[in-house]
Amino acid sequence: MAYQFDFVDVFKYTDVLAKGIAFTVTLIGVGGTLGIAVGIFGAWARGYSRMKWLDWTVGAYVELVRNTPFLIQLFFIFFGLPSLGVKLTELQAALIAMVFNLGAYSTEIIRAGIEAVPRGQLEAGASLAMSRLQVFKHVVLRPALQKIWPALTSQLVIVMFGSAVCSQIAVEELTFAANFIQSRNFRAFEVYFIATGLYLVLAILLRQGMRGLGNWLVFGRRSP
Amino acid sequence: MKFAHIAVALLATVALAHTPARAELDDVKKAGVLKVAVPQDFPPFGTVGPDLKPLGYDIDVAELLAKELGVKIELVPVTSANRIPYLTTKKVDLVISSLGKNPDREKVIDFSTAYAPFFNGVFGPAEQKVTKVEELAGKTIGVTRGSVEDLEITKVIPASATLKRYEDNNGTISAFLSGQVELVATGNVVAAAILAKNPPKRPEVKFLIKNSPCYVGLNKGEPKLLAAVDAAIAKAKADGRLAKISQKWLGAGLPADL
């Protein structure tokens, strides 16, 4: 074969890759947590709150996000908003875009869980003299999250891969690191091979983390 | 073996049939036509206008030279890969195709004096007072990842400066215009493309990273044509016509060192 593989050329840039992993983990850690928080609020607003205006407002937000590309949302926040005087660093812009994006998708996922909670369960909560908010907290949310936990995990993994797009606004995450190294040593195969492996590991770790988190917080498989 | 013999014979025939006349100055004047290789895929040096006629910096210079020599012009569109072969096989008299000078090329062809500025540098709005690379300390500079200017400036930039690398020139331009970076390191052609759109932030050159101006390429052994081209360029520089072409296509006059 004519092509000589040279992985040593890539390992010279280990610090760049390490920084890339740190940025990707930060993006998915912070963005994922806040995004799911937004999603829980959105699902409450749409599927439980009984406030029409809030339902519609969140509905409009969900439609806006789910019907436009993530890259455009990101460019709008980073390149567009400075025209209105809102100047964000690339990391802030990336995090906001991710929370904004994941918030909408997880709103719908969690709402599906809420609507799958049997009516009798809500009535049982009401008959125990719980307020509606208490019913939501203690009777609705946990079984809802249990039902949709795998779907939410998948969405998080998708969003983590989506964070690769943030390299476009010079966030120095893993894809940026790979592109950077590739532009220096032109070792495309080696660089993207390693980046692929790293993403694979990160995704598996994320799934495992979500499983652990689910067991702890949602499924309650440990003594409270 | 037989095939090789035939091939050699064929080549010899072709070579004999094409013993071209020297494109020295006298030949050009006798023919009354100056054949010039120009780009058509490299704005603003050479593109094709809406009427399918080539236009650009190089085309204007070609027309200027033809006028100075008192002959008609014939523009021959070339690509950057075939522009030197077109010259060395005498299909054209001159190459005016944003051609940079380097030792390898100098072995094959001759160069006139420079006729167009072509450089990478750091650009920024007027209020940014930066004159050399040390003064970039603490600044944020946008650059296109993997470009020549990226590789060059990475070597010399102060540690306290932040280099933001974007995917392509559009990203770099957007980052500059939206104020995400204070300065950009890019080519004068890219800066000219920004200037052409009359943005609120005007990228003015602060200092050069790498300078590689454009020269007219000629075949070797044509001293009279070379002298005539040099004289025409010198005249156009002196009377401001070249500066006008530069202003028209690059949005800036000629730099002092050209």
Long-range (24+ apart) CB contacts under 8 A made by A88-96 are A90/A166, A90/A169, A90/A170, A90/A171, A90/B164, A90/B180, A91/A23, A91/A26, A91/A171, A93/A169, A94/A27, A94/A31, A94/A163, A94/A166, A94/A169, A94/A171, A94/A173, A95/A27, A95/A30, A95/A31, A95/A34
Does the CB of B145 have a partner CB in chain A at under 8 Å? yes
The domain of B87 spans: 21-118+213-250
Write the CATH number for B32. Answer: 3.40.190.10
> Measured between CA atoms, how close is B201 to chain A, in angstroms?
12
Stretch A166-178: mean pLDDT: 94
Stretch B116-120: mean pLDDT: 93
Q: Does one domain contain both B36 and B80? A: yes
> What is the b/e burial string over B115-138, where b = at least 16 CB atoms within 10 angstroms of the residue's CB?
bbbbbbbbbbbeebebeebebbee
**Pairing status of strand B109-116 against strand B214-219:** antiparallel
Does the CB of A73 have a partner CB in chain B at under 8 Å? no
B6 belongs to a structural domain: no
Tokens found for residue A136: 């939501």
Helix (H, G, I), strand (E, B) or coil at B215: strand
Stretch B38-45: mean pLDDT: 90
pLDDT digits (tens, 9 = 90+) for A98-121: 999 999 999 999 999 999 999 999
Q: Does one domain contain both B99 and B132? A: no
Instruction: Give pLDDT, residue A3.
Output: 80
Candidates A169, A175, A176, partner chain B, best to mutate (most B CBs within 10 A): A169
E strand or H helix that includes residue A116: none
Stretch A13-36: mean pLDDT: 96
CB contact under 8 A, B180 and A79: yes
All residues of chain B having their beta carbon less than 8 Å from the beta carbon of residue A82 are: 178-180
CB contact under 8 A, B164 and A90: yes
Size of interface A-B (CB pairs under 8 A): 41
Q: Does one domain contain both B106 and B128? A: no
All residues of chain A having their beta carbon less than 8 Å from the beta carbon of residue B180 are: 78-79, 82, 87, 90, 169
Instruction: Indicate the CATH number of A10-218 among 2.60.40.10, 3.40.50.720, 1.10.3720.10, 3.40.920.10.
Output: 1.10.3720.10
**Per-residue pLDDT for B17 more than 50?**
no
Helix (H, G, I), strand (E, B) or coil at B94: strand
From start to end of chain A, where are the E strands?
Answer: none
Tell which wins on pLDDT, B96 or B199: B96
B233 belongs to a structural domain: yes
- Give the residue carrying structure tokens 């750091």: B122
DSSP state of B237: H
Stretch A11-26: mean pLDDT: 95
Tally of domains within chain B: 2
Region of B241 (left: φ > 0; alpha: ψ -120 to 50; beta: rest) is alpha
B12 belongs to a structural domain: no
B13 belongs to a structural domain: no
All residues of chain B having their beta carbon less than 8 Å from the beta carbon of residue A183 are: 145-146, 150
**Per-residue pLDDT for A171 more than 80?**
yes
Q: Does one domain contain both B96 and B147? A: no
- Which amino acid is residue B230, in one-letter code? D
- Residues 6+ positions from B26 with CB-CB distance below 8 Å: B224
Does the CB of A208 have a partner CB in chain B at under 8 Å? no
**Per-residue pLDDT for B8 more than 80?**
no
Tell which wins on pLDDT, A162 or B22: A162
> Measured between CA atoms, how close is B195 to chain A, in angstroms?
18
Does the CB of B171 have a partner CB in chain A at under 8 Å? yes
Closest chain B CA to residue A88 = B180
CB contact under 8 A, A87 and B174: no
**Per-residue pLDDT for A221 more than 80?**
no
Q: Does one domain contain both B103 and B129? A: no
- Could you give the angle at the alpha carbon of B251 between the alpha carbons of B247 and B255, nearest 5°? 65
Q: Does one domain contain both B138 and B197? A: yes
pLDDT digits (tens, 9 = 90+) for A27-74: 999 999 999 999 999 999 999 999 999 999 999 999 999 999 999 999
All residues of chain B having their beta carbon less than 8 Å from the beta carbon of residue A86 are: none
> Measured between CA atoms, how close is A1 to chain B, in angstroms?
28
Backbone angles phi, psi at A118, to 5 degrees: -60, 140
* Residue ranges of domains in chain A: 10-218
Q: Does one domain contain both B101 and B48? A: yes
**Per-residue pLDDT for A190 more than 50?**
yes
> Measured between CA atoms, how close is B232 to chain A, in angstroms?
42
Q: Give the number of C-alpha atoms closer than 13 A to the C-alpha of residue A135, restricted to the C-beta side.
A: 20
CB contact under 8 A, B165 and A79: no
pLDDT digits (tens, 9 = 90+) for B131-147: 999 999 999 999 999 88
Quote the CA–CA distance of A181 and B145 in Å, as a whole number. 10
Nearest to B145 among A75, A78, A183 (CB): A183
Instruction: Give pLDDT, residue A156.
Output: 97
Stretch B124-133: mean pLDDT: 92
Return mean pLDDT, chain A.
93
B14 belongs to a structural domain: no
Nearest to A170 among B151, B166, B178 (CB): B166
All residues of chain B having their beta carbon less than 8 Å from the beta carbon of residue A182 are: 146
**Per-residue pLDDT for B6 more than 90?**
no
Q: Does one domain contain both B144 and B197? A: yes
Q: In chain A, positions 82-101, which contact chain B (CB-CB < 8 Å)?
A: 82-83, 87, 90
pLDDT digits (tens, 9 = 90+) for B220-253: 999 999 999 999 999 999 999 999 999 999 888 8
B46 bridge partner residues? B42
Q: Does one domain contain both B61 and B107? A: yes
> Measured between CA atoms, how close is B165 to chain A, in angstroms?
6
Quote the CA–CA distance of B142 and A208 in Å, as a whole number. 38
Q: Does one domain contain both B74 and B152? A: no
B111 bridge partner residues? B217
* pLDDT band with cut points at 50, 70 and 90 for residue B130: very high
**Per-residue pLDDT for B10 more than 80?**
no
Q: Does one domain contain both B110 and B217? A: yes
B4 belongs to a structural domain: no
**Per-residue pLDDT for B19 more than 50?**
no
Q: In chain A, positions 131-170, which contact chain B (CB-CB < 8 Å)?
A: 167-170
pLDDT digits (tens, 9 = 90+) for B57-80: 999 999 999 999 999 999 999 988
**Per-residue pLDDT for B48 more than 50?**
yes
Instruction: Give pLDDT, residue B198.
Output: 81
* pLDDT band with cut points at 50, 70 and 90 for residue B41: confident
Nearest to A82 among B166, B167, B178 (CB): B178
Stretch B33-43: mean pLDDT: 91
Return mean pLDDT, chain B.
88
CB contact under 8 A, A170 and B164: yes
